[in-house]
Amino acid sequence: MNEGNSMQQKTRALCDGPAVRVNSWNEWSSLRRIMVGRARGTMVQAPEPAVARDWPEHGFPRGTYGPMPEDLVAAADEQLNALARLLMDRDVLVDRPAEFDFSQRVSTPDWVQESMFGCMPPRDVLIVIGKELLEATMSQRSRWFEYLCYRPLLSQYYERDEEMKWEAAPKPRLTADSYDEYFYSEYPGLSDEQKVQRVRANRLLLRDAEPLFDAADIVRFGKDLFVQLSMVTNRLGFRWIKDHFPDHRVHAVTFDNHYPQHIDATLVPLRPGLVLHCGERTANPDMVEFFRLNDWEIVTAAKPAGTYDTLPKLCFCSPWLSMNLLSLDEKTVFVEAGEVAQQEQLDRLGFDVIPVPFWDVAPFGGALHCATVDIERDGELQDYFPHRYGGF
């Protein structure tokens, strides 16, 4: 039996064994159960209004698509399996999504898409807020049906936890009306200042034709949820989240990042009162003051070891995956092994830092936080921002 199958059996046995408790209010409380994605089956996506991959030097010129190369898949799954073992060694229960055929053509009455994507970054699709597990809308046609590979696990959670609330945001139509058809032809030619203004106004790829959001654009600070408006999350998506969680304070935020996509490589809470921020992506001054007024220290993340030129092949992510860390508890963090400066910074801040080799996973959609979904953490709902400021 190969290691991948053995790992699948071990993690499935965990889901079939100890009691399931869906509960997670923040990003840092003690971790008890987690989902870890898998690389096998991932596709270089077929073209669609939201995605057009172009890697001619790696065999995928614009307009082409197909399975990720086997050597990349094997390397990524080796690191994902190692992360799963490391978590289990720390007494965390680990679940894995079912294998799925992402190469298949999919369709709705509105469109046909020649391929799907994959299930390495479950954080994009799923989020636990309190006792609720929420499935995001997604904004790419290739990812519309991605929820299906997680449904076997979600069904088990729901069957075995009577307090779990299971919700799915409204499935979008994703017709041409949802996208700015001129974005990719016009936006790259804008000046940096023009791009920043577009980002702040959320006038990017998505139109406000329907609610759209990725779960990875939500970061949890107890009673306060911060939702980044981005390339994959629009204002109607934010509004839906705000309406759906009336007992939370839900804040729309932007950062001066020309192509924003997912907040967990820009704003990363580490423990109550301490948050890591990507200094290259300026935050709203009112948000900064809001944090300071509530006794939160904002620390500028260490510079990544690599650059866009040194990213792994077929990688569409940012070097700032360096700060896409995973918290085991308020004192312990998993950090990419190659990001020594980030490890040293966190060590100086008093954390027990666990280096985890993970850059081979990046071409499949992210790093340690992206590759996981915390299903259970200790704790209850708390208010970490008792004071208001500006629009916050």
Are the beta carbons of 258 and 194 closer than 8 angstroms? no
For 352-361, the CB contacts below 8 A with 24+ separation are 354/86, 354/328, 356/79, 356/82, 356/83, 356/86, 357/79, 357/82, 358/79, 358/83, 359/312, 359/321, 360/72, 360/75, 360/76, 360/78, 360/79, 360/312, 361/39, 361/76, 361/79, 361/80, 361/120
Query: Catalytic one among 15, 315, 317, 370?
Result: 370
State the Cα–Cα distance between residues 246 and 117, nearest whole angstrom: 33
- Is 95 annotated in the active site? no
For residue 330, give both structure tokens.
């308020």
Match 């799925």 to its residue by tokens.
100
State the Cα–Cα distance between residues 60 and 57, nearest whole angstrom: 7
State the Cα–Cα distance between residues 373 and 223, nearest whole angstrom: 19
Q: 3-state class of 267 per DSSP? A: strand
The strand ranges marked E within 28-153 are: 31-36, 43-44, 66-67, 93-95, 106-107, 112-113, 126-129, 132-135
Could you give the angle at which helices 3-16 and 151-160 cross, rounded to 10 degrees? 30
- Is 278 annotated in the active site? no
State the Cα–Cα distance between residues 127 and 8, nearest whole angstrom: 22
Query: Catalytic one among 77, 119, 149, 262?
Result: 262
Residue-wise over 78-98: b if at least 16 C-beta within 10 A, else e?
Answer: bbbbebbeebbeeebbbbbbe
Query: Catalytic one among 214, 217, 264, 374?
Result: 214
Dihedral (CA of 100, 103, 109, 110) sign: positive
- Is 15 annotated in the active site? no
Match 């590979």 to its residue by tokens.
149
Report the catalytic residues.
Answer: 214, 262, 370
